[in-house]
Chain A
Amino acid sequence: MSIELKLDRPAENTVTISVIGDIDMSSSTKVRDILAPLFQENNKAIIVDLSGVSYIDSSGIATLVEGLQWSHSSQSKFRLVSLTPGVKDVFEIARLLTVFEVFDTKEQALAH
């Protein structure tokens, strides 16, 4: 299963990552490799767009939790946007929906 990650910088010190494809045991290391360096570059906000993700497994969620940990130590914001229903279910079962800052659209996430 291939996964595509697109980086975009809509504003200064703000990065959005659009993920397209499934985040599973084999692809979540790729997400991690992209995500990790972003927290080293003084970014104020890192926004992950999950609209192109129809399936995420626990390794994917764990990777996003790692992002949350990094954002905590680097004092930046880490936001998730546009969760598809399937992805939302997985977050709910893991009881982690409330732990993340989740927004419906990219614009909302940027505005805050």
Chain B
Amino acid sequence: MVRSFFGFIGRRGFEFVDTSADFFREISGLYYLTRSTLYCTFIEPLRGKPIKWRPVWTQMEEVGVKSTTIVFLVSFLIGVILAFQSAHQLSRLGALEFVGALVGVAILRELGPLMTALVMAGRVGAAFTAEMGTMKVSDEVLALETMALNPVKFLITPRFLALLIMLPCLTIMADLMGILGGFLIGTTTLGIDPVVYINNSLDAMVVKDVVTGLIKSVVFAVIIVMVGSYMAFIIEGGAEKVGQNTRTAVVVSMILVIIADLVFTSLFFFVF
């Protein structure tokens, strides 16, 4: 009994050591991949190996343009929901006309960047892992290496640049759509005077809100691309691994996006 108890503890202890070792190995792998991506994207072009923009354009269309509908829809609905929820609370305080201010600030500072990043983690992060994972499994990545072509530069850099540019753009559009959603509900269903709504909103929102939101979205872009790519590059073996790692990539990048959001929000809270 006692022995089995200690055996249990011991096994758990070893399991814990094993998992944490795995965890740190993953973190360091992610770190090295990110470092070499940053090197290939920003340092190498300065050393006379210019970036080819054609694959970047293709990826920008793939991750950006084709995501607009879903991002518009989600952020518009978030604006609508936010207006309803806040109206309920604010009307009890007799401050119904401040719905616009609350919706605007919440969207710009938090929900716009975060929701866009989460939608993109699901849509684009999964696609990155599935695409590159399939290439890994079918020896295409090895073929690149043996042709003396750097897979990081060839596969990750275009995706990295594309999302780095497109995620902030999508975030701005999501902000606008969210605010529009709130405005439509506020002025119709809630019966707030449009001029009052707009004035209150503009009084509450400042440029800093937009800027902090965009800084966050750049960080989110890095997380989504790097987790998606890393999960693809560590695949060994067959097709079922591609499916598993795609799922892991989405889950991990969503969690990391929210953790990063917390870190940056608290940073902005204390610093600015």
Asked whether the complex places CB atoms of A and B closer than 8 A, the reply is: no
**Which A residues contact B (CB, under 8 angstroms)?**
none
Residues on B lying within 8 angstroms of A by beta carbon are none
